[in-house]
Each structure stands twice: as structure tokens, then as C-alpha cells.
Amino acid sequence: MEIIQSLWPFLAIFGVMYFFMIRPQMKRQKQEKNFAQELKRGDKVVTKSGMHGKIVDFSEKLNAVIIETGAGKITFDKSSISMELSAALNKPKDEKEKK
């Protein structure tokens, strides 16, 4: 019985860490993976470095996207596309004005 009582604080700490740190991160990774898989030609996107452009083509061999910007076509890794910034860019204008 003493062993269970001495392990209880560690189990409680692990439980709190799981529900507040590990689980949300796993959910976010799943959302980003789905976002990267659902990209298609013509989507307007923003990279994590702030480059705006439109998807022109995909390179499955490199797991990359080719984005057309004002400066020309640039190849980016799919993981460098920002889910949040791209979603904010593609929001309808009436939703942007509400905030």
C-alpha cells in the first residue's frame, strides 16, 4: 500500500503532462499532416518564413511544393508551409473584418 501512495504524485504529474502537453501536440501534428496532404494546385499559401504564393506543382520525389511568387517559382518542402498563416490568408474578407 505504501508503494502505491508513494507513486501517486508521479502518476498525477504524468497525467497532467499528458493532457496539457503531449496530447495537444499530437493533435496539432495530426492536423498539420492532414493539411499538407490536402494541399492542391492553385491554393494560396504562406510559408513559415513568410513567403506568400500560389501552389503551381508538386514534387513527390522531394516531398516538396513549387510555389509561384512575385519573384518566380520556388520549391519549398511541404513541412515549411504554415497551416495557421495559410488559413488566415484564405479566410473570407467578412471574417477578417470582424476581428
11, 50: one domain: no
20, 51: one domain: no
94, 50: one domain: yes
Query: Which cell numbers hold the place of 7?
Result: 507513486
87, 48: one domain: yes
- Residue 78, class by beta-carbon neighbours within 10 Å (0-12 exposed, 13-18 middle, 19+ buried)? middle
- Per residue in 31-82, pLDDT (tens digit) is 999 999 999 999 999 999 999 999 999 988 888 999 999 889 999 999 999 9
C-alpha 92: how far from its chain's center? 20
Query: Which cell numbers hold the place of 27?
Result: 493533435
Residue 95: pLDDT band with limits 50, 70, 90: low
Query: Which cell numbers hold the place of 75?
Result: 520549391
- Per residue in 2-41, pLDDT (tens digit) is 888 888 999 999 999 999 999 999 999 999 999 999 999 9
51, 97: one domain: yes
The tally of domains found in the chain comes to: 2
Considering the entire predicted model, what is its pTM? 0.73
Residue 44: domain span: 40-99
Residue ranges of alpha helices (H) inside 2-56 are 2-17, 23-37
Strand partners, 69: 72
34, 44: one domain: no
